[in-house]
Amino acid sequence: MKKLYLHAGFGKCGSSSIQAFLSRYEKFKCENGNDMVYAALTNDRRVLYGKELTQLAGQNHSGSITSIPFPLMKPSPEEYFNAVGDQLIGLLEKNHVVLSQESWSNKKAEWDGISFFQNNKLEVDFIIYIRPPVTRVNSSWWQWGAWANQELDDWVAQSVSAVKYEKKIRQLNGLSWVNRVHVRLLDNNLLDDFSSVIRLDKQVHQAPHAMANKSLPNGILRLFQTHKRLRPSPHASAIDFILEKHLKLEGEADWVLDPAHIKTIIEETRDSNLALLDFIDEDCKGKFIADQRYWDAAAFDDKVAQPTGGIKPSYEELEGIALAGIDAVMDLATQQMAKSPAGPSFNQSDIWRDLALHVEKADIELAYRLLQQADKLCPGTPHIQKKLAQYKTALDAM
């Protein structure tokens, strides 16, 4: 019987990136030559994996598939695992298996009630990633709190318990059937680190550096706040994945925590962080101890809190969003035309030229940038070159 890895979170600690990476491959190759499969537990009591999983992931806005949380395991997690047990055992007979669901880290009582793992003498490792509590609370505000009609003070107060990691990790470590709980640090090398934990052959599977479901740029988040229909509730997050995928905008969310919030979070999580030293992986301990964001509010002295509401995106931010949106529409149109038997029906540079002409009286700088896009698509076109020169002369004179 091969090993079962349970990636169990925490939320806003890179889970979406891990799931998107795992959902790209039908099968993985490990360092020792063994095969590994990423699988997902579904509502209809199936263990989804292989080609079917990767195809479904490709149809999702997130680009990933994840196992269902415990509340959806009807009528109970115990009965659910008994129902899918033969499928899971069948996979484990030939492959190491990875399952992922970020909410599983908070469910000690549910894990306690499942006899499946012990009855089948499975070798099970949990994998959990953590990040500094202060940065996680700020990030979670923009993921959920900003859309929940809550005051920031209330959000911080209720979020502190979620960033006391040690208690939840201790509970998982105490499960009788668990072989090991890997506690890792979230950083920019997340996927490379995760690949090392599950011992993937990195020469075969190159982990991407891009992170999934990172906070959208501030301009988009403030646009959401101005037009609430775009992000009406904490869990209406499909738009986040869509815009992240297609707009390809750089930028960060505003920092909203003031010094009092930061001090509260640092002080209330200090004991939990100290206790984490009993559980955090040995190769991570030095970095964990040295990272002052876990221990000292002064580590955030460079952060300036911005208002949680009442700020509209700047003109420059809106311009960037508009240009990225036009690029995305053009990319999609190009893909659709490439699939059409008739082929392209128009010159794409003409669209950029027409947009430039449309806005030149209101904003000649924007018109110039739009026409530059037309020039890239159709370089050297005389009428575009002539117009670019006119715009450049006008801009130089401003």
Is there a domain that residue 20 lies in?
A: yes
Is there a domain that residue 142 lies in?
A: yes
pTM for this prediction: 0.82
* 34 in Cβ contact with 76 (< 8 Å): no
* 234 in Cβ contact with 144 (< 8 Å): yes
Q: How far apart are CA 65 and CA 100, in angstroms?
A: 9
Is there a domain that residue 254 lies in?
A: no
Nearest C-alpha neighbor of 360 from the set 329, 330, 395, 325: 395
How many CA atoms lie within 13 Å of 291's alpha carbon, on the beta-carbon side? Answer: 20
* 191 in Cβ contact with 21 (< 8 Å): yes
Between the CA atoms of 360, 362, 368 and 370, what dihedral angle is there, to the nearest 10 degrees?
A: -90
Is there a domain that residue 227 lies in?
A: no
Is there a domain that residue 195 lies in?
A: yes
Structural domain of 381: 346-398
Is there a domain that residue 238 lies in?
A: no
Count how many domains the chain has.
Answer: 2
Which among 162, 189, 213 is the end of a domain? 213
Q: How far apart are CA 235 and CA 237, in angstroms?
A: 5
Is there a domain that residue 226 lies in?
A: no
Q: How far apart are CA 221 and CA 211, in angstroms?
A: 18
Is there a domain that residue 94 lies in?
A: yes
Nearest C-alpha neighbor of 28 from the set 158, 150, 199: 199
354 & 209 share domain = no
CB burial string 17-54: b at 16+ within 10 A, e below: bbbbbbbbbeebebeeeeebbbbbbbeeeebbbeeebb
Which among 171, 190, 213 is the end of a domain? 213
351 & 202 share domain = no
206 & 351 share domain = no
Per residue of the chain (398 residues), what is the pLDDT tens digit?
A: 799 999 998 999 999 999 999 999 999 999 999 999 999 999 999 999 999 999 999 988 888 999 999 999 999 999 999 999 999 999 999 999 999 999 999 888 899 999 999 999 999 999 999 999 999 999 999 999 999 988 999 999 999 999 999 999 999 999 999 999 999 999 989 999 999 999 999 888 777 655 554 678 999 999 999 999 999 999 888 888 888 888 888 888 999 999 999 999 999 999 999 999 999 999 999 999 999 999 999 999 999 999 999 999 999 999 899 888 888 887 877 777 666 555 544 566 777 787 788 778 878 888 888 888 888 888 888 888 888 999 889 888 88
Which among 163, 182, 213 is the end of a domain? 213
Q: How far apart are CA 266 and CA 160, in angstroms?
A: 9
